[in-house]
């Protein structure tokens, strides 16, 4: 057996061991939900608001433009928050059905 | 040695195939056990990297050990080749460069698979796509372009040597940079396709791929500029960009990648242009495959294409498969890509991004059309018609100027809509500076040389140069005003001085202010390009004591001589350079004859300053007199191009750094969460 052949065999054995010898419990990551999407979108809108505030303070926009843009972003944020609150309530309700002891209370002011 | 390399490639193919097939099965099937199957597929993808790395190492060791029994090593190296070029031989020929492509893809795949916990399912999809691409390259390496093919007959004592044009320091790093750029676009492509197929909600895939895309774009930018510098320093024609098909092949994905980096912000900020973004990244990836095809298959004649072969059919089939997969995925899931908002005004930041994208795509299409025209004309008319620089310049120079205008305008516009008052407020000073710069260039005396004393009405190229400089000043003024205005806000909050506040500002929103620095780099590059309208050249036969004048320089031939070493024989002239009567330098334009490959190459003598390059080429000896022929070029502002490229790279690096945490201060908005006052994106 040549050294190259031996190396080929050892390399293959190592590779097969790595690929197929798995630990007993696998570490899995989170799954994406509609709620996660809305929370992301909320962050984006908040970032837009921060951006707008900063640019206004930097003197880039007149007050009238700023107010109009701010109102429009706030409306978008409000509708997102409303849907987020709805989904959170539904999730809590579902978990209370599975485990009635938890007795969830809806968040104060969750609906807008 | 060859046996080990061939085996590693075969094993890599088997592992990739496993990763693809069982990764796909795990995604399609539902039920117990699929997680474990998916994990083996992920691990097979990781192991692919080890196998491809082993193959690449075997090839590199064979080059250093002068193992000429391997045909690739024989054709691309020789015993006296310097060691950096032996390493560069790995990507100098077709088989080696395809192996290098595969290695880089495996490395990107490794990083992606190691980060799978970020989003298990999305990463599993992307891993399958990467495995699919890897299979294509490994099929090529195992069956069509084998790097470990053996020489027939007696073992040669020395190799045929590396192409002399490649024996230049930049050629050791230019191809890896370009390939890192090309291959890197596989990752955003894989995520975009995965997100589409999964109907993945939200923009998280964009957040995940943002850094990948920027890193890839930075590599591609480096690759393009290194290629320009190599062409300038080695090819000896006095220019850095000749619209060669291979240059164009690297520019096209750069243009669409740049468009993607801009338009993706609209999706993140406003949930708009989803279909556009997905197709932009699909097209960018397809253009990288097309670029590799063009460089490696010998489809089109090029000074940069160092391989001729019949693998074009493989690439065309692969491109077709990619297109069909993308189209089917899109048609099945197009409803998922509906925009969340509509364009509210043509005078808004969204509109400026949209126009920027349209212009970049028009430029890309023009370059593609010009590049493919010889092939198309041969199909239609039976003979090749090549389009040259005038065609490309006629279309692309005005597009570049419009893009420059948008670069100035875009950052100053508001999202959604911008009022006339806002426009006046933001553009008054930058526009005034731009006009003053134009007036200055026209009013200065022509005796200053270069771009001074411009007469834009005498030649269209002068007009374009003037516009380029004026727009560059406009962009510079807007970039500076953004830093100053933002710095003032920070200064008011923190009490720091303006300079420290501007640095602070850059740290708080690295992406935005890094982007502005990239824009600043672009304008420096554009000013460098504008200088080309004032290029001069002169050719003269010169013997001892002969003089030549070009611009403000006088060149005197002191001597010409020859030398010989194991790798090449060379002849060169010794030229003294005088300016205003005083000697300022001695330069040595040279011509080399490489023995192993029996080819000649030019070593340019270039005296580079901020104002201009004095670029001398040893053209050879006159057949009648035996005297050296020297060609002198005077190229204004070329150094600005290389400086601009460094600034672009610095800006990209800044944009890649995570933001510093902003100071939290509640803003007056009627939503419940605290909104911090900081630099937005």
pLDDT of B676 above 50: no
Q: Is residue B365 part of a domain?
A: no
Q: Which of A2, A41, A58, A85 to mutate against chain B (most B CBs within 10 Å)? A: A58
pLDDT of B674 above 60: no
Secondary structure element (H or E) that encloses residue A43, with its range: helix A34-57
Domain shared by B487 and B453, yes or no: yes
8 Å CB contact between A59 and B425: yes
Q: Is residue B431 part of a domain?
A: yes
User: Across the interface, which of A8, A44, A50 has its CB nearest the CB of B676?
Assistant: A50
Q: Tokens at residue B72, please?
A: 């690739």
pLDDT of B285 above 90: yes
Domain shared by B615 and B668, yes or no: no
Q: Which of A26, A42, A44, A56 to mutate against chain B (most B CBs within 10 Å)? A: A44
Q: How far is B101 from chain A (nearest CA, A)?
A: 22
What's the rounded mean pLDDT across residues B627-641?
93
pLDDT of A109 above 60: no
pLDDT of B263 above 80: yes
- Mark yes or no for CB contact B202/A52 under 8 Å: no
Supply the pLDDT for residue B435: 93
Q: Which residue of A has its CA nearest to B666?
A: A50
Q: Is residue B476 part of a domain?
A: yes
- Mark yes or no for CB contact B667/A53 under 8 Å: yes
Q: Tokens at residue B310, please?
A: 């019949």
List of chain B residues whose C-beta atoms are within 8 Å of the C-beta of residue A67: none
Supply the pLDDT for residue B33: 72
Domain shared by B503 and B538, yes or no: no
Backbone angles phi, psi at B508, to 5 degrees: -75, -30
Residues 6+ apart with CB under 8 A from B292: B101, B182, B315
Q: Range with the lowest mean pLDDT among A75-89, B200-214, B352-366?
A: B200-214
Domain count, chain B: 2
Domain shared by B568 and B633, yes or no: yes
Alpha-carbon separation of residue B427 from B74, B466, B467, B474, B478 (angstroms):
62, 20, 17, 9, 8
Q: How far is B428 from chain A (nearest CA, A)?
A: 12
pLDDT of B625 above 60: yes
Q: Is residue B86 part of a domain?
A: no
**How confident is the prediction for chain B on average, in pLDDT?**
87
d(CA B566, CA B574): 23
pTM: 0.86
Q: How confident is the model at residue A26 (pLDDT cuts 50, 70, 90)?
A: low
The DSSP bridge partners found for residue B556 are B547, B576
- Mark yes or no for CB contact A55/B414 under 8 Å: yes
User: Across the interface, which of B201, B415, B672 has its CB nearest the CB of A32?
Assistant: B201
Q: Range with the lowest mean pLDDT among B98-112, B180-194, B451-465, B580-594?
A: B451-465
d(CA B260, CA B226): 23
Classify residue B352 by burial, with Cβ atoms within 10 Å: 0-12, 13-18, 19+: buried
Domain shared by B555 and B607, yes or no: yes
Q: What is the 3-state secondary structure (H, E, C) of B122-176?
A: HHHHHHHHHHHHHHHHHHHHHHHCCCCCECCCCCCCCCCCCCHHHCCCHHHHHHH
Supply the pLDDT for residue A107: 44
Structure confidence by residue, pLDDT tens digits, B362-373: 999 999 999 888
pLDDT of B345 above 90: no
Domain shared by B633 and B549, yes or no: yes
Supply the pLDDT for residue B309: 66
- Mark yes or no for CB contact A61/B204 under 8 Å: no
d(CA B311, CA B317): 10
- Mark yes or no for CB contact A47/B680 under 8 Å: yes
Domain shared by B542 and B628, yes or no: yes
pLDDT of B646 above 90: yes
What's the rounded mean pLDDT across residues A94-112?
53
What's the rounded mean pLDDT across residues B187-197?
93
- Work out whether strand B599-603 and strand B605-608 pair parallel, antiparallel, or are unpaired: unpaired
User: In chain B, what is the straight-line distance between the N-terminal and C-terminal CA atoms, in Å?
Assistant: 53
d(CA B157, CA B78): 9
Q: Is residue B627 part of a domain?
A: yes
Bigger pLDDT: B619 or B639?
B639
Q: How confident is the model at residue B143 (pLDDT cuts 50, 70, 90)?
A: very high
List of chain B residues whose C-beta atoms are within 8 Å of the C-beta of residue A78: 670-671
- Mark yes or no for CB contact B418/A65 under 8 Å: yes
Structure confidence by residue, pLDDT tens digits, B650-670: 999 999 988 876 544 444 444
What's the rounded mean pLDDT across residues B38-62?
94
Supply the pLDDT for residue B102: 95
- Mark yes or no for CB contact B419/A65 under 8 Å: yes
pLDDT of B128 above 80: yes
Q: Is residue B553 part of a domain?
A: yes
Percent of chain B with pLDDT over 70: 94
Bigger pLDDT: B178 or B595?
B178
Q: How confident is the model at residue B55 (pLDDT cuts 50, 70, 90)?
A: very high
Q: How far is B475 from chain A (nearest CA, A)?
A: 16
Structure confidence by residue, pLDDT tens digits, B490-521: 888 888 888 898 888 888 888 889 999 999 99
What's the rounded mean pLDDT across residues B212-216?
92
List of chain B residues whose C-beta atoms are within 8 Å of the C-beta of residue A2: 3
Alpha-carbon separation of residue B409 from A109, B419, B485 (angstroms):
42, 14, 16
- Mark yes or no for CB contact A15/B200 under 8 Å: no
8 Å CB contact between B229 and B240: yes
Q: How many CB pairs under 8 A join A and B?
A: 158
Rg (CA), chain B: 27
Q: How far is B187 from chain A (nearest CA, A)?
A: 20
User: Across the interface, which of A28, A37, A70 has its CB nearest the CB of B201?
Assistant: A37
Supply the pLDDT for residue B644: 96
pLDDT of B203 above 80: no
User: Across the interface, which of A2, A41, A46 has its CB nearest the CB of B673?
Assistant: A46
Classify residue B130 by burial, with Cβ atoms within 10 Å: 0-12, 13-18, 19+: buried
User: Across the interface, which of A5, A29, A44 has its CB nearest the CB of B269?
Assistant: A44
Domain shared by B631 and B548, yes or no: yes
Q: Which residue of A has its CA nearest to B3?
A: A4
Classify residue B383 by burial, with Cβ atoms within 10 Å: 0-12, 13-18, 19+: exposed
Domain shared by B630 and B677, yes or no: no
Helix B274-297 crosses helix B186-198 at what angle (to 10 degrees)? 140
Range of the domain at B664: 419-509+659-681
Bigger pLDDT: B408 or A97?
B408
Q: Tokens at residue B149, please?
A: 């093919």
What's the rounded mean pLDDT across residues B452-458?
80
Q: How far is A24 from chain B (nearest CA, A)?
A: 10
User: Across the interface, which of B40, B271, B419 has its CB nearest the CB of A62?
Assistant: B419
pLDDT of B679 above 50: no
Residue with tokens 């040695």: B1
The DSSP 8-state label assigned to residue B632 in this structure reads E
Q: Which residue of A has its CA nearest to B482?
A: A58
Supply the pLDDT for residue B270: 78
Domain shared by B590 and B632, yes or no: yes
User: Across the interface, which of B39, B118, B416 has its CB nearest the CB of A29?
Assistant: B118
Q: Is residue B666 part of a domain?
A: yes
Supply the pLDDT for residue B265: 86
Answer left, alpha or beta for residue B217, where phi above 0 means left and psi between -120 and 50 means alpha: alpha
Alpha-carbon separation of residue B118 from B111, B112, B124 (angstroms):
12, 10, 11
Supply the pLDDT for residue B174: 87
Supply the pLDDT for residue B21: 95
8 Å CB contact between B206 and B264: yes
Q: Which residue of B has its CA nearest to A24?
A: B36
Bigger pLDDT: B360 or B658?
B360
Residues 6+ apart with CB under 8 A from B271: A41, A44, B203, B339, B340, B341
- Mark yes or no for CB contact A54/B489 under 8 Å: yes
Q: Tokens at residue B541, please?
A: 């036969």
What's the rounded mean pLDDT across residues B402-421?
86
8 Å CB contact between B15 and B44: yes
Percent of chain B with pLDDT over 90: 46
Q: What b/e readout covers B621-643, taking b as 16+ CB neighbours within 10 angstroms?
A: eeeeeebbbbbbbbbbbbbbbbe
Q: How confident is the model at residue B6 (pLDDT cuts 50, 70, 90)?
A: very high
Supply the pLDDT for residue B662: 55
Domain shared by B429 and B498, yes or no: yes
User: Across the interface, which of B50, B54, B412 has its CB nearest the CB of A60?
Assistant: B412
Q: Is residue B603 part of a domain?
A: yes
Supply the pLDDT for residue B669: 45
Domain shared by B497 and B556, yes or no: no
Percent of chain A with pLDDT over 90: 12
The DSSP bridge partners found for residue B618 are B630
């Amino acid at each position: 057996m040549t050294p190259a052949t031996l190396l080929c065999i050892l390399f293959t054995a190592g590779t097969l061991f790595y690929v197929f010898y798995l630990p007993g419990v696998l570490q899995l990551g989170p799954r994406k939900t509609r709620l996660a999407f809305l929370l992301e979108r909320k962050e984006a809108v908040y970032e837009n608001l921060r951006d707008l505030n900063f640019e206004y303070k930097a003197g880039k926009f007149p007050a009238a433009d700023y107010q109009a843009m701010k109102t429009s972003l706030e409306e978008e944020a409000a509708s997102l928050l409303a849907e987020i609150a709805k989904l959170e309530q539904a999730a809590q309700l579902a978990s209370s059905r599975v485990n009635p002891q938890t007795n969830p209370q809806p968040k104060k002011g969750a609906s807008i | 040695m060859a046996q080990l390399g061939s085996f590693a490639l075969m094993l890599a193919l088997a592992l990739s195939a496993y990763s693809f097939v069982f990764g796909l099965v795990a995604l399609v099937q539902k039920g117990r056990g699929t997680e474990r199957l998916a994990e083996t597929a992920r691990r097979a993808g990781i192991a692919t990297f080890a196998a491809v790395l082993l193959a690449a190492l075997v090839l590199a060791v064979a080059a250093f050990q002068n193992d000429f029994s391997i045909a690739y090593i024989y054709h691309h190296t020789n015993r006296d080749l310097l060691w950096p070029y032996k390493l560069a031989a790995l990507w100098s020929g077709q088989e080696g460069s395809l192996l290098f492509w595969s290695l880089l893809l495996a490395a990107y795949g490794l990083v992606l698979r190691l980060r799978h916990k970020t989003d298990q399912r999305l990463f599993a999809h992307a891993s399958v796509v990467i495995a699919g691409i890897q299979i294509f390259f490994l099929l090529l390496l195992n069956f069509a372009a084998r790097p470990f093919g053996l020489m027939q007959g007696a073992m040669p004592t020395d190799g045929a040597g590396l192409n002399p044009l490649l024996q230049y320091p930049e050629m050791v790093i230019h191809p890896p940079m370009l390939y890192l750029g090309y291959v890197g676009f596989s990752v955003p492509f894989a995520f975009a396709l995965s997100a589409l197929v999964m109907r993945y909600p939200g923009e998280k895939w964009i957040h995940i791929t943002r850094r990948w895309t920027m890193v890839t774009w930075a590599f591609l930018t480096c690759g393009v500029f290194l290629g320009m510098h190599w062409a300038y320093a080695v090819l000896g024609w006095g220019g850095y960009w000749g619209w060669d098909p291979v240059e164009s092949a690297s520019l096209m994905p750069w243009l669409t990648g740049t468009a993607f980096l801009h338009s993706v912000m609209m999706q993140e900020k406003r949930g708009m242009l989803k279909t556009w973004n997905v197709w932009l990244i699909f097209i960018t990836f397809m253009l990288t495959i097309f670029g590799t095809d063009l460089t490696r298959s010998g489809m089109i004649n090029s000074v940069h294409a160092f391989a001729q072969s019949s693998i074009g059919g493989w690439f065309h089939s692969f491109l077709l498969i990619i297109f069909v997969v993308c189209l089917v995925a899109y048609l099945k899931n197009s409803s998922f890509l509906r925009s969340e908002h509509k364009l509210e005004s043509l005078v808004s930041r969204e509109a400026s991004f949209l126009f920027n994208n349209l212009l970049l795509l028009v430029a890309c299409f023009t370059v593609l059309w010009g590049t493919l025209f010889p092939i198309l004309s041969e199909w239609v008319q039976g003979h090749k018609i090549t389009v040259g620089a005038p065609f490309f310049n006629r279309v692309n120079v005005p597009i570049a100027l419009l893009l420059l205008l948008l670069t100035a305008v875009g950052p100053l516009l508001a999202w959604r809509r911008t009022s006339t008052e806002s426009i006046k407020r933001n553009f008054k000073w930058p526009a005034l500076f731009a006009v003053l710069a134009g007036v200055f260039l026209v009013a200065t005396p022509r005796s200053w040389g270069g771009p001074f004393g411009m007469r834009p009405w005498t030649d269209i190229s002068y007009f374009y140069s003037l516009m380029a400089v004026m727009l560059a000043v406009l962009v510079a003024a807007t970039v500076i005003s953004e830093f100053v205005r933002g710095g003032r806000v920070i200064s008011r909050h923190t009490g720091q001085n303006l300079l420290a506040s501007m640095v602070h500002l850059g740290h708080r929103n690295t992406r935005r202010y890094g982007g502005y620095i990239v824009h600043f780099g672009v304008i420096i590059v554009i000013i460098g390009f504008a200088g080309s309208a004032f290029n001069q050249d002169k050719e003269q036969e010169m013997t001892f004591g002969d003089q030549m004048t070009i611009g403000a320089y006088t060149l005197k031939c002191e001597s010409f001589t020859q030398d010989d070493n194991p790798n090449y024989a060379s002849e060169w002239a010794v030229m003294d350079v005088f300016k205003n009567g005083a000697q300022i330098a001695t330069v040595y334009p040279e011509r080399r004859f490489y023995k192993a490959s029996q080819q000649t190459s030019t070593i340019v003598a270039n005296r580079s300053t901020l104002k201009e390059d004095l670029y001398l080429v040893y053209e050879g000896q006159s057949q009648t007199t035996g005297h050296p022929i020297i060609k002198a070029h005077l190229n204004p502002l070329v150094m600005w191009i290389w400086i601009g490229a460094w600034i672009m790279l610095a800006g990209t690096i800044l944009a890649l750094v995570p933001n510093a945490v902003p100071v939290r201060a509640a803003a007056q908005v009627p939503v419940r969460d605290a909104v911090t006052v900081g630099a937005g994106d």
